[in-house]
Chains A and B, each alone.
Chain A
Amino acid sequence: MADAEAEFKKIADERDRTVARLKALQTPAQRERNRLNNKRKTGVDLTEQEKKDFDNTTTVIESTRKAIQVVNLITIQAMDDSDLLKQIKSDLNKISGDLKKTMKKLDHIVKIAQTAAQVTSAFVKIVERLTALLAKAA
């Protein structure tokens, strides 16, 4: 159980480390691109160098974004396929199984009461018949 949790944590930690590294590449590029875009929004044209910077930052952002997406998809595959989820599911199913057993036990209690009722009724019928026979004989 502890192994499964450790395995899951390792997957998550590995992802966090990789994404943090990629984010460190992406954030300054994104900041610079936003600055250039904000300048453009004031109606001022970008210089040739700024246009080049804009394109370069776009390339960095797109490639890191794609890399983050791939890392995330690998992580989801690993997390969803982890032993931890399988164990949790199995544990919950076992508890459900125990509750189903309780339902059977409760059904059994009803059956006992019903059987007692049926036996008593049948017994009463026999006594009634006997009574009628005895009355006839008398």
Chain B
Amino acid sequence: MLRVHVLSTRRTSTLLVLLAVSACSTSDYAAPIAKFKTSADAATKAYTDMNALLAETTLDFAIASIVNDKTLPKTNTIQRIDDCGTFTGIEPTSLEEAERCRTEFSLTSQEASISLQREDYTSPLGNLIGVLEATQEYATNLAAVQQANTTEQVNSSIDSIQASIAKLSQAAAAAEGKPPTLPPDLPQAAGQAVKWAFGQYIESVKFNALKEATAAARDPLARAQVAVKRIAEVTKSIMANELQIAAQVADDTVDTNSDTSIRAMLRAHEAYDDFMTAPLSSMFDNLVIAHQALADGLEEDSHISIRRALEKMDEIEAQAKMLEKIVKDLRAALDT
């Protein structure tokens, strides 16, 4: 005879109580995690634009140094560092082993000398962008875990099991020529209990993963915050060079009898002043503060921390827009 085993009421209750203790809901974190992801995307885009602009500024400076160097032989030079003439077409196993054709700028100042190679004037912040992309990837994975629809998928499988259990009960009873041994609503009730238990288990897996990940990311993000701040300061100083020159030229050439000339000088001064006072690193500062609040929230299950995280991420969106404007203005200044 075929028997269908159903968990006893007592066992089910014990299991459910145990699971309820360990489970926390991740749905409260849906908004801050989704926003952390969009903020990380915005920060990566802003710093990528900044990288492109820094590359442009670096190349402009290098070329101007060569063009304006009137010494003979020139102190600032541009040279081909590879022979470039022996390409065999063989696919290289690594970039280090590849045959190359590169140009190098050698610039000398009163204080120091520098060699600028291709990556310096095409992507000078390549590794910093790598850190931002890793932050973006981390945010994407956090969101993926939080948004995973595992419970829905499991529920649909349990619905299918439930239907099978009902059929099994009917078939078993029919084989014996008896009425079904299970009350008609029992499979459904058991299915609901299993769904709930699975749901709690899945939530605890997701919650613990989010909690552990945000705790682990605190330290690398805090270190990244320091690095981004210092790199942003130097980047700002490099990019300010063109605006500084433009402001000086405008000052030197202003015609105080001309409305147009005075306005042009003011525009040049204001562009330089705006750039000097613009906070380039605060967007990443806010991203890290928001992440800390998110990690605190997951650790303490605190709604105050979640609110703090959301507030900081609102600021990031505004700062990303401001940075976009600065990059646009600066590019316009470089193009003139």
Closest Cβ of chain A to B175, distance in Å, is 4
A56 at the interface (CB under 8 A from B): no
The answer to whether A65 and B244 have CB atoms under 8 Å apart is yes
B216 at the interface (CB under 8 A from A): yes
The answer to whether B124 and A70 have CB atoms under 8 Å apart is no
Closest Cβ of chain A to B94, distance in Å, is 17
- Which of A19, A61, A84, A117 has the most C-beta atoms of chain B within 10 angstroms of its own C-beta? A117
Selected contact of A103 from candidates B148, B157, B227, B251, CB within 8 Å: B148
Selected contact of B131 from candidates A12, A77, A89, CB within 8 Å: A89
Q: Is the interface of A mostly helix, strand, loop or mixed?
A: helix
The answer to whether B138 and A99 have CB atoms under 8 Å apart is yes
The number of chain B residues with a CB under 8 A from chain A is: 77
The answer to whether B125 and A76 have CB atoms under 8 Å apart is yes
Closest Cβ of chain B to A27, distance in Å, is 13
A50 at the interface (CB under 8 A from B): no
Q: Is the interface of B mostly helix, strand, loop or mixed?
A: helix
**Which B residues lie within 8 Å of A70 (CB)?**
107-109, 111-114
**Which B residues lie within 8 Å of A100 (CB)?**
141
**Which B residues lie within 8 Å of A69 (CB)?**
61, 109, 238, 241
Beyond A98-B209, A123-B164, is A76–B130 a contact (Cβ under 8 Å)?
A: no
Selected contact of B114 from candidates A8, A74, A81, A130, CB within 8 Å: A74
Encoded as 1 (CB less than 8 Å from any A CB) or 0, chain B from 239 to 267 comes to 00100110010011010100000000000
Closest Cβ of chain A to B15, distance in Å, is 16
Closest Cβ of chain A to B292, distance in Å, is 15
Which residue of chain B lies nearest to A92 when distances are taken between CB atoms in the complex? B134
The answer to whether A88 and B131 have CB atoms under 8 Å apart is yes
- What separation, in Å, do the CA atoms of A103 and B160 have in the docked complex? 23
Encoded as 1 (CB less than 8 Å from any A CB) or 0, chain B from 281 to 307 comes to 000000000000000000000000000
**Which A residues lie within 8 Å of B153 (CB)?**
110, 113-114
Q: Which residues of B contact A (CB under 8 A)?
A: 2, 54, 58, 61, 65, 107-114, 116, 120, 124-128, 130-131, 134-135, 137-138, 141-142, 144-145, 148, 150, 153-154, 157-158, 160-161, 164-165, 167-168, 171-172, 174-175, 198, 201-202, 205-206, 209, 212-213, 216-217, 219-221, 223-224, 226-227, 230-231, 234-235, 237-238, 241, 244-245, 248, 251-252, 254, 256
The answer to whether B220 and A92 have CB atoms under 8 Å apart is yes
**Which A residues lie within 8 Å of B150 (CB)?**
106-107, 109-110
**Which A residues lie within 8 Å of B111 (CB)?**
18, 22, 67, 70-71
The answer to whether A127 and B130 have CB atoms under 8 Å apart is no
List 7 additional contacts besides A8-B227, A70-B112; criterion CB under 8 Å. Answer: A73-B238, A89-B130, A92-B131, A109-B205, A113-B157, A120-B160, A120-B161
The answer to whether B209 and A99 have CB atoms under 8 Å apart is yes
Q: How large is the interface on A (under 10, 10 to 19, 20 to 34, 35 or more residues)?
A: 35 or more
The answer to whether B227 and A124 have CB atoms under 8 Å apart is no
Which residue of chain A lies nearest to B143 when distances are taken between CB atoms in the complex? A99
Within 8 A of B (CB), among A12-33: 12, 15, 18-19, 22
The answer to whether B175 and A131 have CB atoms under 8 Å apart is yes
Closest Cβ of chain B to A93, distance in Å, is 5
**Which B residues lie within 8 Å of A117 (CB)?**
157-158, 160-161, 164
